[in-house]
A and B are shown apart, each in its own frame.
Chain A
Amino acid sequence: MIRLLQIEFIKLWNNRASRVLILSYFVLLTSIALVAAIKFDIGPIKFHLAEIGIFNFPYIWHFNTFVTAFFKLFLAIVIVSMMANEYSNKTIKQNLIDGLSKKEFILSKFLTVLSFALISTVFVFTVSLILGLIYSDYDELPIIFSDLEFVLAFFVKLVGFFSFCLFLGILVKRSAFALGFLILWQILEGITRGLIRWKLFDGDTTETIMGFFPLQSMFNLLKEPITRLEAVQTVADQVGEEISLNYQVHGYEILIVLGWTAIFIYLSYALLKKRDL
């Protein structure tokens, strides 16, 4: 297993484009700390983001994982191209000839995906913990370490999404087209949602069905945290609007994403096995 990771590490780290993207990704993850510095001070309006409660435990787990999950696109590019480049350089052929089995090949890619997700999760966890310790109004241990399921959901979400990218890389064999396909897929899910809502079911049922689609299920893992903010809710109360949203991470949502992960990895393997190179 270590050997397979080392193999991928050599391939990725020596590629300047991948290296730059990976580094910028982690810099961006850290940069969420800069949000704390956002301060407006325009006469009577004083606004300090860090003070409206976004860094309060346990809310910070939800907020930070939600926001940083958008940066995953950087790694998506790296993953799609690390797969597609093996085809365009024909190095996949050479790897197999040199004695890597097809199973090992997929496994090495999947392990890389797992490592990316794991390192990102650890990173986000650490950054959030530090930010929270500095700015949070609550610092009792049980509160700090509550709601950690958001961190788990973040990990599962990344693994699922990266596995999808991996599969697209193998399926399409060209990085640019694979990324295009990813966007196309997002649009297709949108159209499907529209069609189901329009012709078949009411809003709630549509949402339930959409929850089984790959990208939507990954999105559902971390719901938007903005309306959960006390400040926002206070405002809503004042204007007589009642916000009742379901913020929880549900076990079945994690299972759906894990299911897709398994499907994508298996399909990648099946595709590689079936193809003549």
Chain B
Amino acid sequence: MEKILTVNKLTKKFGYLTAVKDLSFSIEKGNVYGILGPNGSGKSTTLGIVLNVVNRTSGDFSWFDGNTSTHEALKKVGAIIERPNFYPYMTAVQNLKLVCKIKEVSEDKIEEKLELVGLLDRKNSKFRTYSLGMKQRLAIASALLNDPEILILDEPTNGLDPQGIHQIREIIKKIASEGTTILLASHLLDEVEKVCSHVVILRKGEKLYSGRVDGMLASYGFFELKFNDMDKLKSILEDNSSFGEIKIDNGLLTAFLKEEMNAEVLNRFLFEKGIVLSHLVKRKESLEEQFLTLTKSQTN
């Protein structure tokens, strides 16, 4: 697989504080990556380092197998960090023309990208007249001008209203479906869960996990069940060696699997025991639950 970015033992210290500690991971072409972590876990610092705006303390990173200098490589990258930064006194088109000059690409994609983010009708308005959502969309248009190999987004929906969040997500999904590699930093887990196939999880600058989203926990998922005699249901399941922890909460029984089992098998098994369920759902832990489990287990 073609590697787009390799980070090797990266460390960044701000005085006594270690923001990123011995971080290593790599980004491969074609996947959608999420960098997850609570606020202050080193996500933005890591992105800042690979984007040439923060100096590293030690370790190294290389773009595109290390064949080009960082600033040359960045011309093939599209990135938005935190707030959209543009010249407030210039219009959208003027700002994008400037970006084209910096990235050394032709200017004929400007209209196309403004169309993609839905700003074509406001293209000649000054940047300072834009709402936050529009600014963020302009930033995405700007990041896409060079048809980047990888799109890096740091908290792209931060501070937006629900409609704005939805618009940005739709745009991200659209870009991802076109096969662009995406690296998305966020503390919003459902956001990452919706679009990412791989995650890197950070806490206090250290890597807790990196790999596929569904491989995060060695988990077989769980069943949610309802029956009019919950205690009987519980005792039957406790006798079955396939189940681990079983709990009843708000009239809903949750049984965690210790090995693979599909819903049909369980349904037949319980029916044979004379139990007719009124509710049966098989689920995997959401990213949030997995994340909390992971961060908790690392703390202990």
Question: Would A89 and B81 count as touching, CB distance under 8 A?
Answer: no
Contact of A98 among B88, B90, B103 (CB under 8 A): B103
Question: Are B85 and A98 in touch, CB under 8 angstroms?
Answer: no
Contact B69 A101 (CB under 8 A): yes
Considering the complex, which residues of chain B in the window 177-221 have a beta carbon less than 8 Å from any beta carbon of chain A?
Answer: none
A266 to chain B, nearest CB (A): 18
1/0 per residue, CB under 8 A from B, across A266-277: the answer is: 000000011111
Nearest chain-B residue to A104 (Cβ)? B71
Distance, CA A101 to CA B72, complexed state (A): 8
Report the bound CA distance from A16 to B91 in whole Å: 13
Q: How far is the CB of A166 from chain B (nearest CB, A)?
A: 18
In-complex Cβ contact of A274 among B55, B71, B103 (8 A): B55
Q: In the complex, what distance in Å separates the CA atom of A104 from the CA atom of B70?
A: 13
Contacts A3-B104, A98-B99, A101-B69 hold; do A89 and B88 have CB atoms under 8 A apart? Answer: yes
Q: Is the CB of B53 within 8 A of A97?
A: yes
Which residue of chain B has its CB nearest to the CB of A17?
B89
Q: Is there contact, CB below 8 Å, between A96 and B85?
A: no
Residues of A within 8 A of B69 (CB): 101
- How distant is B109 from chain A, measured CB to nearest CB, in Å? 14
Closest to B88 in A: A89
Q: How far is the CA of A233 from the CA of B293 in the complex (A)?
A: 92
Q: B86 contacts the other chain (Cβ, under 8 Å)?
A: yes
Total interface residues in chain A, CB < 8 Å: 27
Whether the Cβ atoms of A99 and B54 lie closer than 8 Å is: no
CB neighbours (8 Å) of B273 from chain A are none
Assembled-state Cα–Cα distance A34/B24 (Å): 69
Q: Are A14 and B94 in contact (CB under 8 A)?
A: yes
User: In this assembly, does A31 line the interface, its C-beta being within 8 Å of a C-beta of chain B?
Assistant: no
Q: Contact string, B65-90, partner A, CB cutoff 8 A, digits 1/0?
A: 00001111111010101010111111
Contacts of B90 in A (CB 8 A): 10, 14-15
Cβ contact within 8 Å between A11 and B102:
no
Q: Could you mark each residue 243-277 of chain A with 1 if its beta carbon is under 8 Å from any beta carbon of chain B, else 0?
A: 00000000000000000000000000000011111
B: contact size bracket = 20 to 34
The residue that B98 contacts in the complex, of A11, A16, A277, with Cβ under 8 A, is A11
Contacting residue for B86 out of A89, A97, A274, A276, CB 8 A: A89
**Known contacts A3-B104, A98-B102; A93/B81 CB under 8 A:** yes
**Residue A186 CB within 8 A of the other chain:** no
| C-alpha spacing A14/B90, complex, angstroms | 6
Tell yes or no: B51 within 8 A of A by CB.
yes
> In whole Å, how far is A271's beta carbon from the nearest beta carbon of chain B?
12
- In the complex, what's the smallest C-beta–C-beta distance from A75 to chain B, in angstroms? 19
Q: Are B102 and A276 in contact (CB under 8 A)?
A: no
Q: A98-B74, A276-B55 are in contact. Are A7 and B83 (CB under 8 A)?
A: no
For residue A192, CB closer than 8 A to chain B, the reply is no
Instruction: Mark each residue of chain A from 65 to 93: 1 if its CB lies under 8 Å from any CB of chain B, else 0.
Output: 00000000000000000000000011101
Report which A residues bind B (CB closer than 8 A). Answer: 3, 6-7, 10-11, 14-16, 89-91, 93-102, 104, 273-277
Task: Jot down 17 A-B pairs with beta carbons below 8 A, ordered by A.
Answer: A7-B98, A11-B87, A11-B98, A89-B86, A93-B81, A93-B85, A94-B85, A94-B86, A98-B103, A99-B74, A99-B103, A100-B102, A101-B52, A101-B69, A104-B71, A273-B55, A275-B55
Give me 14 other A-B pairs in contact (C-beta within 8 A), A96-B74, A97-B79, A276-B14 excluded. A7-B98, A10-B97, A89-B85, A90-B85, A91-B86, A96-B51, A97-B51, A97-B74, A98-B74, A98-B79, A99-B72, A104-B71, A275-B55, A276-B55
